[in-house]
């Protein structure tokens, strides 16, 4: 039996109202409907701890699906910090909406418990990544931008400097642009409250792709020339998730990445760096994004997606491999 149009209109209106309430819990927005990322609980730029470089004192807590944690995991990997910083991976608990430890950590079973013990605001979210100091029993920092800077200064034999002084200005410029237009940009597309907010974010996202394509095509092989830097590190977690998550779920699909051949080649090259593949978990990404972001995917169905191997192969001229 056909549903009367007034009933359809009423249901749509009620669902839209409920959707806005759910989106408010998922991520805040301004009065124009533009997504605004919340401020991290422990976001102050920290000094290098006196015990930095000594084994057994610090723990990096990450989650597989979080791109902000991924960038910290990458710096930890690329600089070989495993001897002095333990890595702990937390798992999502979709029903409770929190991160949980596979085994009790410092007496905590959930990340929120650790936050509260370390004096976070009761209203603050417990997010990853986190750098934890075992000796002082405190969270050093959980803001990813500040954390990767700290990890880059962390003492380690023969570790590469990902923010050399002579390229600091260029690195900083790229990081600012990437953070707003690309890293946050995909979320501003997916969490937009209305068409105008989405359109603005989507245009800025692909303008960022165009700028990176031009820079890499005219120079490279990395964003700041011939040396890998933090600018590249902050780009990779977003770009490796593009076809797997952000294009189908967040609507970042105007142009596939293979139409940006220099960017495609950059992603392939970064993925080939030692240890990077071990930080990538496409099944977890898709399960956690599609399964947990209920307002964007109410069915909870995880659709089929491309194999990661097809996204890090040689760049085609007209079509993906």
Q: Which member of 132, 187, 198, 246 is catalytic?
A: 187
Q: Is 35 helix (H, G, I), strand (E, B) or coil?
A: strand
149 C-beta neighbours (distance < 10 Å), count: 18
- Cβ–Cβ < 8 Å for 142, 42: yes
Between the CA of residue 154 and those of 53, 54, 249, what are the distances in Å?
Answer: 7, 10, 36
Strand intervals (E) in 173-315: none
191 C-beta neighbours (distance < 10 Å), count: 25
Handedness of CA 192, 196, 199, 203 (dihedral sign): negative
Q: Let me know if 187 is a catalytic residue.
A: yes
| β 138-141/130-133 pair status | antiparallel
Closest C-alpha to 187, from 128, 253, 246: 246
Q: Which member of 35, 66, 115, 132 is catalytic?
A: 66
What residues are annotated to the active site?
66, 187
């Amino acid at each position: 039996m056909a549903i009367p149009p007034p009933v359809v209109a009423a249901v749509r209106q009620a669902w839209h109202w409920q959707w806005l309430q759910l989106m408010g819990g998922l991520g805040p927005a301004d009065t124009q409907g533009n997504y605004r990322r919340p401020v991290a609980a422990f976001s102050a730029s920290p000094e290098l701890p006196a015990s930095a470089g000594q084994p057994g004192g610090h723990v990096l807590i990450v989650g597989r699906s979080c791109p902000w944690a991924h960038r910290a995991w990458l710096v930890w990997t690329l600089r070989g910090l495993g001897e002095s910083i333990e890595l702990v991976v937390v798992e999502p608990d979709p029903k409770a909406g929190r991160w949980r430890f596979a085994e009790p950590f410092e007496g905590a079973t959930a990340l929120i418990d650790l936050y509260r013990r370390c004096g976070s605001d009761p209203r603050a979210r417990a997010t990853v990544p986190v750098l934890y100091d075992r000796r002082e029993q405190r969270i050093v920092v959980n803001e990813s931008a500040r954390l990767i800077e700290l990890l880059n200064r962390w003492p380690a034999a023969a570790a590469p400097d990902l923010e050399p002084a002579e390229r600091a200005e260029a690195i900083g410029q790229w990081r600012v642009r990437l953070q707003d237009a690309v890293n946050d940009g995909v979320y501003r597309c997916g969490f937009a409250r209305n068409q105008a907010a989405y359109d603005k974010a989507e245009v800025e996202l692909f303008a960022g792709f165009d700028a990176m394509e031009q820079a890499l095509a005219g120079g490279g092989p990395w964003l700041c020339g011939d040396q890998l830097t933090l600018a590249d590190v902050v780009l990779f977690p977003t770009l490796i998730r593009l076809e797997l998550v952000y294009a189908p779920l967040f609507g970042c699909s105007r142009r596939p990445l293979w139409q940006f051949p220099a960017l495609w080649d950059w992603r392939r090259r970064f993925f080939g760096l030692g240890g990077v593949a071990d930080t990538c978990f496409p099944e977890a990404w898709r399960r956690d994004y599609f399964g947990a972001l209920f307002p964007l995917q109410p069915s909870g169905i995880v659709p089929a997606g491309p194999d990661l191997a097809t996204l890090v192969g040689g760049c085609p001229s007209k079509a993906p491999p």
